[in-house]
Amino acid sequence: MRKVCVMEGDGIGKEVIPEALKVLKELGDFEIIKGDVGLECLKKYGTALPDETIEKAKEADVILFGAITSPKPNEVKNYKSPIITLRRMFDLYANVRPINNFGVGELIGRLNNYEFLKVKDVDLVIIRENTEGLYVGREKILEDDIAISERIITRKGSERIIRFAFEYAKRNNRKKVSCIHKANVLRVSDGLFLKIFNEIKEKYNNIKADDFLVDSTAMNLIKYPEKFDVIVTTNLFGDILSDEASVLIGGLGLAPSANIGGKKALFEPVHGSAPDIAGKGIANPMASILSVAMLFDYMGEKEKGDIIREAVKQCIINKKTTPDLGGNLKTVEVGDEIVRYIRKR
Ligand code: NAI
Ligand code: MG
């Protein structure tokens, strides 16, 4: 039987993942192996990612990850983020973040008392390079007051993420891939990334291709989200643009993600452990449930992924939502509603 390693983590990770598991079990047969991870785990066992959890992850076909709380600076010596360790360990080079409001254009999200825009239909996907760029961790202090970070862009890393983006577009009937960069200033590193994009796009005649600078893209994502379809970009730009884009769909409660490598994949909501609402039973489980839909897509069962996305859409249309999307249901009730829509279809 196929194996899923499940890591709930901290805070609302413990609340939203059980809802995601309800949906996973409703539609698929998997052996589920649970692994400890995160800050609570660190306090209990002295490590945020125990070897036992790593062994379970190795054994599994896929990983479902909730969210973890990071320790405060200087609270833990030599702390390494478990999620970054897992991405590196399994070479999960493609971070896929769909941004979709399911046609619910009137949606208004609330986050920390900020209300989000009323938006038009949004349906785009950000594909972020997950292993190199500015996040390779090569930082040092030169003399006393100069800090240096190295930004690594390789042909191998760029080719595989750009090809991944075009193949993703082909598989999912998407019309266009946009390369986002800063090659006017980072002429060498992003120059290479853009050059490789221009080489690879020639091999995909049926998919349009264009490229934009990252700063103007930050503005245009908000002004004209409908102009984007698939975005492919380097690590830091992808990290920032995907959090920005989540605002378009009513916040983090609707933002799922996949981290995909050659042999394994990890699925997780984009959000963190949300200590401000943890324990209240009001966290939105949809981001985790939509991550399960991506897990089915990855397993070659896109029809099941589509069933889940349709059930989430029905919940939103019928206002069966948690407070972040304007509703008054609890986390568990939203999970139950989604299962109910799945059964009703
Ligand atoms: P966060 O994503 O946990 O929360 C940001 C805001 O969004 C909060 O107001 C929260 O209540 C709200 N929110 C997030 N998810 C929600 C959901 N499902 N339903 C309703 N509202 C939701 O980010 P924050 O507060 O910056 O970080 C909290 C902790 O999480 C930190 O320790 C941080 O390091 C960690 N973190 C972990 C991540 C991971 O595990 N992959 C990713 C991001 C942050
Ligand atoms: Mg981020």
Ligand nearest, relative to CA of residue 268:
1
Q: Whose CA is nearest to atom 42 of ligand 1?
A: 272
93, 135, 168, 298: the active-site residue? 135
- Residue in 92, 271, 277 to alter for ligand 1 test, most ligand atoms within 8 A of Cβ: 271
Are residues 26 and 46 both part of a single domain? Answer: yes
pLDDT of residue 248: 83
61, 91, 123, 243: the active-site residue? 243
Is 99 a domain residue? no
The closest alpha carbon to 260, from 120, 141, 160, 166, belongs to 160
pLDDT tens digit sequence for 44-67 = 999 999 999 999 999 999 999 999
Single out the residue in 249, 284, 304 at which a domain terminates: 249
Are residues 125 and 243 both part of a single domain? Answer: yes
Is 173 a domain residue? yes
pLDDT tens digit sequence for 214-237 = 999 999 998 889 899 999 999 999
CATH number for the domain including 263? 3.40.718.10
Are residues 239 and 269 both part of a single domain? Answer: no
Are residues 206 and 268 both part of a single domain? Answer: no
Residue type, 287: A
Query: Three-state SS for 269?
Result: strand
What is the number of the ligand 1 atom nearest to the C-alpha of 111?
A: 9
Are residues 39 and 87 both part of a single domain? Answer: yes
Indicate the pTM of the whole model.
0.93
What is the number of the ligand 1 atom nearest to the C-alpha of 67?
A: 40
29 is catalytic: no
DSSP H or E run through 295: helix 286-298
The complex's ipTM works out to: 0.98
| pLDDT tens, the chain, 345 aa long | 899 999 999 999 999 999 999 999 999 999 999 999 999 999 999 999 999 999 999 999 999 999 999 999 888 888 889 998 999 899 999 999 999 887 655 545 555 555 555 566 789 999 999 999 998 888 899 888 899 999 999 999 999 999 999 999 999 999 999 999 999 999 999 999 999 999 999 999 999 999 999 999 999 998 889 899 999 999 999 999 998 998 888 778 999 999 999 999 999 999 999 999 999 999 999 999 999 999 999 999 999 999 999 999 999 889 899 998 888 999 999 999 999 999 998
What length does the chain have?
345
Is 60 a domain residue? yes
Q: State in Å: Cα 253 to ligand 1 middle.
A: 10
pLDDT of residue 9: 98
| Ligand 1 residue neighbourhood (C-beta within 6 Å) | 12, 16, 67-70, 83, 111-112, 252-253, 268, 271-277, 283-284, 287, 324
Q: State in Å: Cα 112 to ligand 1 middle.
A: 11
Are residues 267 and 338 both part of a single domain? Answer: yes
- Residue in 80, 247, 252, 259 to alter for ligand 1 test, most ligand atoms within 8 A of Cβ: 252
51 is catalytic: no
182 is catalytic: yes
pLDDT tens digit sequence for 245-256 = 988 887 789 999
pLDDT of residue 299: 96
Residue type, 159: E
Single out the residue in 232, 249, 266 at which a domain terminates: 249
Strand partners, 162: none
What is the number of domains present in the chain? 2
Single out the residue in 209, 226, 249 at which a domain terminates: 249
Distance of CA 276 to the CA centre of its chain: 21
Is 90 a domain residue? yes
Q: State in Å: Cα 274 to ligand 1 middle.
A: 4
Are residues 12 and 58 both part of a single domain? Answer: yes
